[in-house]
Amino acid sequence: MQVPQDGEDFASQPWYHGPLSRQKAEALLQQDGDFLVRASGSDGGHPVISCRWRGSALHFEVLRVALRPRPGRPIALFQLEDERFPSLPALVHSYVTGQRPLTQATGAVASRPVTRQGPIRRSFSEDTLLDSPVQTKLLRARKWSDSQPAGLEHVGQSREGNSGPGASSVPTLALSRIGSDPVLLKTLGPLASIADSLRASDGQLHAKAPTKPPRTPSLVLPNASGHSPTYCEVVPRVPSAWGTPSGHSCPEPEAPWWEAEEEEEERCFVRPQAEVSFCPPDNPCGLLGPQNRPLEPKVLRALRGLFLEHHPGSTALHLLLADCQAVGLLGVTKAQRGAMGVASGLELLTLPHGHRLRSELLERHEALVLAGALAVLGCTGSLEERAAALRGLVELALALRPGAAGDLPGLAAVMGALLMPQVSRLERTWRQLRRSHTEAALAFEQELKPLMQALDEGAGPSDPGLVALPHVVPTARLLEGEELPGPLDETCEQLLRTLQGARLMARDALKFREAAAGRLRGFRPNRELREALTTGFVRRLLWGSRGERSPRAARLEKFQRVLNALSQRLEPDS
C-alpha cells in the first residue's frame, strides 16, 4: 500500500506513521491525549487518527474528498465530522491547538503527538517482515556495506566461513531493507550478470559511484519453483526481457463479486425447483465467536468503536452492500438464478415462491430497527452522549437517502429506530439534540420524516438513478398478508400504489443492479463492519447464539420489554 497521492503534504510530519496496523498504533499510545496519524489497512489507505482517551484507544477515519484539479485550490479536502480542511496538517493543527473534540460522540481530545521513529514504511507487508524476530536479528547482524553493489556477489552465501562459532547464517531467500535499501535476493544466473554490470564507490571494487536505487521496486526474479511469482512490494521484479519465463506475469487482482459484470444470457422459462435464500451461511463470527450471550458488553463496546471510526458515508456504503446481498440484487449465482427462475431477488420478491426471501427481509428489517434503537437506549452516559448517538443515526439516514447511497431498506431501518416509541419518548434527549445539533434535528423533522412517510405510502422517489435499492418492506409485508393501517379509502389507494411500485421494481431490476454496482465501484469495505451489518450477526448480537433459534414473535416480544426497561431507566415517567 502506497502513501496517498497527496502524501507529500503530510508525509514529512512527525505524527504521520504511514501504513501501520491498529494493534501497533494502540501500543504506541500510552496516555490520554496521545495521538498519531496512520494509513488504514482496511479502507484503501485512508488516513486514520488514532488517539487514546479515557484509557481506551480510539480510531477516527478522516474522510478525503477529492476535488477536480484547478489552479490555486487543493486537490482534496479532509474532514472528520462537518468542517473541511485543505490539508491533513491543517486539520490536525486545528483540532490540537484548539483542543477540540475529534468527534462530539466521544469527546476525545488529541493533545500530544507520538512522533515517528525512522522513515515511513511503505506497506503493511514490509511492516510485518521488519517486526519478525528473525528479521530483527538479521538487521542487527547485517553490515551496511552489504547494501552497496559490491556486496551483491555475497548475497545468499553462508557466514560460517567468515564468522566465529555461533554466528547466524544469512538466509538464502532475502535480506530485509531499511528506507530505500533494496531487497537483495539470491539467484543463480541473472543476478551475477547484473552484479557484474554495476559499479561501486571508491574503496570498493570499482571506481564509479552507483546511482541511488529507486524506492519503487522495478525488478522481478525468476521463481525457482516454476510457479507464478507472488506479488509483494518488498520483492523486486525482473522484466521478462531479463529472463523471466514466459507466462509468469503478475496476475491482475480480481474484482470483488459486487463489481463483477453479470453476463446476460438468453434462456427460456424454467419452473422453479426450490425457494432461494440470499443470507450467507452461519459462519463463526470474528466479533462474536462460535457461541455468545445476548448483548455482550465487550462486543457492544467493540461495535461502538467500529462505527465511530467510520464516517456516515462509509457506513452507508457498507450497509448498501449488505442490503444488496440480502435482497439478491448483486452477487446472484447462476445456480440461484436457475433455481428461482428469474435473474434478481427484486423479481423473486413479487412471486409466490418468494415467501422465504420476503420473510428474511422482514426479519432483517426488524433486527436492524432494534439494533438502531439499542444504539441510543444503550447509552448510559451523559445526556450529550445520547444526543450524539441520535445525531449519528440522523447523519447515517441522510447518507442513505435517495441521491446519496440510495439504500432505501437501510434508510427505513434507521428511521424505524428513530421513530420507535421507546426512543421518541426521550424528550430531554431530543431537546438536547435540537440545542447542540440543530442542523441534524431540522433535517430529521423537515426532510427525513416526510420522506419516510411518502416511501411507506408508496409515493416516494423510486427512480433507479436516484435509488440504488428500492423500498422493499411494504411489498414484502403486503404479500405476506399483513394488513395496512389507516382508513379503508386511504388503505385501498396505498395498496394500489404498493402493487404498482412492486411491478415497476421487478421490471427495472437490471437498472437498479447497475445503479448499485456504480455506487459500490471502487469501494473496499472493512471486514468487521461488513460482518456486523449482516442479518445473522445482528440476530446473534440481540438474542444470542441460542436465543436466535426461538420463534420470531417470542423474540420480538422479549426484546421490546428490554427496550422499555432501558427507556424508562434513561428518562423515567414523571
Note the pLDDT tens digit of each residue in 53-78.
888 888 888 888 777 777 777 788 88
| Alpha-carbon gap, residue 545 to 425, rounded angstroms | 31
Kindly report the CATH number assigned to the domain that includes residue 31. 3.30.505.10
Give the whole-angstrom CA distance, residue 245 versus residue 221: 10
Tell me which residue of 179, 178, 182 sits closest to 195, measured CA to CA. Answer: 182
Mean pLDDT of the chain: 76
> What pLDDT shows up at residue 169?
39
Cell representation of residue 18: 504511514
Out of 96, 113, 130, pick the residue that ends a domain: 113
Helix-then-strand count for the chain, H and E: 22, 10
DSSP structure string for 149-205: GGGGGGTT--STTTS-TTPPPPPSSEE---TTPPPEE--SSHHHHHHHT----TTSS
Q: How many CB atoms lie within 10 A of CB 45?
A: 21
> In the numeric block, which cell numbers belong to residue 409?
431498506
- Residue 49 in 3-state DSSP? strand
Average pLDDT over residues 29-39: 91
Beta strands in 228-375 (DSSP E): none
The three grid cell numbers given for residue 420, joined into one nine-digit string = 420507535
Contacts of 377 (CB under 8 A, 6+ apart): 422, 423, 563, 566, 567, 570
The strand pairing partners of 84, in sequence order, are 79
What would you report as the CA-atom Rg of the chain, rounded to the nearest whole angstrom? 29
Q: How many domains does the chain have?
A: 2
- Residue 246 forms part of a structural domain: no
Does a structural domain hold residue 505?
yes
Does residue 439 sit within a domain? Answer: yes
Amino acid at 207: A
At 484, the pLDDT band (50, 70, 90 cuts) reads: confident
Q: Which residue has the higher pLDDT, 263 or 454?
A: 454
- In which band, very low, low, confident or very high, does the pLDDT at 22 lie, cut at 50, 70 and 90? confident
Higher local confidence (pLDDT), 565 or 127: 565
Inform me whether the pLDDT recorded for 228 exceeds 80: no
Q: According to the model, what pLDDT value does residue 286 have?
A: 74
- Final residue of a structural domain among 113, 132, 151: 113
Looking at the DSSP assignment, which residues form a beta bridge with residue 112? 34
Tell me, yes or no, whether 374 lies in a domain.
Answer: yes
Q: Is the pTM of this model over 0.75?
A: no
> Which of 113, 140, 155 is at the close of a domain?
113
- Of 349, 325, 329, the C-alpha closest to 275 is 349
Packing angle, helices 312-327 and 383-400, rounded to 10: 60
Per-residue model confidence (pLDDT) at position 569: 93
Q: What is the mean pLDDT of residues 238-255?
A: 40
* Neighbour-count burial of 118, counting CB atoms closer than 10 A to its CB (0-12 exposed, 13-18 middle, 19+ buried): exposed
pLDDT at 459: 87
Q: How confident is the model at residue 282 (pLDDT cuts 50, 70, 90)?
A: low
| β-strand pairing of 16-19 with 34-39 | parallel
377, pLDDT greater than 90: yes
Whether 464 contacts 512, CB under 8 Å: yes
Query: Which residue reads 420463534 in cell numbers?
Result: 551
Residue 150 lies in a domain: no
- CATH code for the domain of 314: 1.10.840.10
% of the chain at pLDDT higher than 90: 38
The total number of residues shown for the chain amounts to 574
Q: 78: which 3 cell numbers?
A: 479532509
Q: Output the CA torsion sign for 105, 110, 115, 120.
A: positive
DSSP strand pairing (174-175 vs 63-66): unpaired
Distance in angstroms between the alpha carbons of the first and the last residue of the chain? 57
* Of the candidate ranges 117-121, 123-127, 150-154, the one whose mean pLDDT is the lowest: 150-154
**Does any domain span residue 196?**
no
**DSSP annotation string for 503-542:** HHHHHTHHHHHHHHHHHHTT----HHHHHHTSHHHHHHHH
pLDDT score for 197: 40
Cβ atoms within 10 Å of 548's Cβ, excluding its own: 19
User: Residue 336: which H helix or E strand, with range?
Assistant: helix 334-340
Cα 182 to chain centroid distance, Å, stands at 32
Supply the pLDDT for residue 52: 92
408 belongs to a structural domain: yes
Residue 371 domain boundaries: 297-570
Band (pLDDT 50/70/90 cuts) for residue 338 is confident
Residue 270 domain flag = no
